[in-house]
Amino acid sequence: MRNMTVDSYGFDTLAIHAGQEPDPRTGAVVPPIYQTSTYAQDAVGAPRLGYEYSRSGNPTRDSLQECLAAIENGRRGLAFASGLAAEDTLLRTVCRPGDHVVIPNDAYGGTFRLFSKVAERWGLDWTAVPLDDIDAVRAAFRPGHTRLIWSETPTNPLLNVNDIALLAGLAHEYDAMLAVDNTFASPYLQQPLAFGADVVIHSTTKYLGGHSDVVGGALVTADDGLGEELAFHQNAMGAVNGPFDAWLTLRGIKTLGVRMDRHCDNAERIVAYLSEHRAVAEVLYPGLETHRGHEVAAKQMSRFGGMVSFRTVGGPEQAVAVCNRAKLFVLAESLGGVESLIEHPGQMTHLSAAGSALEVPADLVRLSVGIETVDDLLADLEQALG
């Protein structure tokens, strides 16, 4: 089954079959885990099927990478040890010391830490602006120096929405690139390359893996030349996905579509509930018609995802108390698994942004809505909110 693309197959078919042909030797319908560090070569300079060493290439990882490219409608997919490893590889592939990047003023805390504590020391400059304000993005550009717009949409944890096509047009106007972190939406709900993005980023730990049992990251691009450059740096820098991690992620992707439908169903019920609750000051969710990015989200997403944030009437103390009282919602960092999670971003995932322009509100609670029976989730929130 070759050349699987969105032009010939539906999303769920690609998720189950792309890069995953039955094993030619045994007929196994699941790709084997090639748990090996090196490969016997047929002669000096003649590696079998091109495999020499598992940092440089591994058949299990190749299966995952082919699947990633297919479900994002890209040409090249690359798998990494973590989402941040993918981000670091991208930055050091397309940027040089002295270059400049425009980032969201509400970026994921780990991304902010990478820019402010690591890339900045390497000589990369950055400016944080609200990416849903195109005039602010244009004003932040430094022609000849700005190499990249770094977008998250929806953003983590404030769930702001960026117009991918608009940002891509602006980036290309200045001979720059647009990178889109698509972790919150997943390829099932949004495909940024179709709107002009140059590269898509994922923490595959989240919705793609989907079961809170593997850590990984990914880059996908529609440009063969950029794909080759990224692949060179993937090998040269070495932060690759191991074969068992790749196998787990590939297994998770098979059910991405059905899981995302349930995540969305449950999130919509919870948003409706929270919107009417006396202890909730504001609900942040792109599916709400009152959300400032709702129209853009409706244009570029098929549905609005399983992530929900809200602010409490009682301020930071109440936000922390709600997190601590939750029972079925597990108090934990991360997101996108089948189980529901709750966290206080200010003291957990976004602590690295404290005291900066990217600091998140202290009264904010973030939910990763799982696929449990939704009435049980609603009951848990009722008791947690008091």
CB 175 within 8 A of CB 288: no
Closest CA to 179 of 260, 113, 88: 88
Please give the positions annotated as active site. 55, 108, 181, 206
The helix-helix angle for 256-275 and 374-385 (nearest 10°) equals 40
d(C-alpha 369, C-alpha 270), whole Å: 8
Question: Which residues are CB-neighbours of 303 under 8 A, at least 6 positions away?
Answer: 189, 260, 261, 264, 287
DSSP secondary structure, 183-202, as one string: TTTHHHH--GGGGT-SEEEE
Q: Is the dihedral of CA 132, 138, 139, 140 positive or negative?
A: positive
- Measured in degrees and rounded to the nearest 5, phi and psi for residue 170 equal -65, -45
Which stretch of DSSP H or E encloses residue 245? helix 243-253
Question: Which residues are CB-neighbours of 45 under 8 A, at least 6 positions away?
Answer: none
End-to-end CA separation in angstroms for the chain: 55
Q: What is the largest CA-CA distance in the chain?
A: 73
d(C-alpha 55, C-alpha 237), whole Å: 10
Closest CA to 261 of 232, 295, 297, 303: 303
Q: List the strands of the sheet with 146-152, edge to edge.
A: 76-80, 217-221, 199-203, 177-181, 146-152, 100-104, 125-129
Please identify which residue in the block is written with the tokens 């809200």: 310
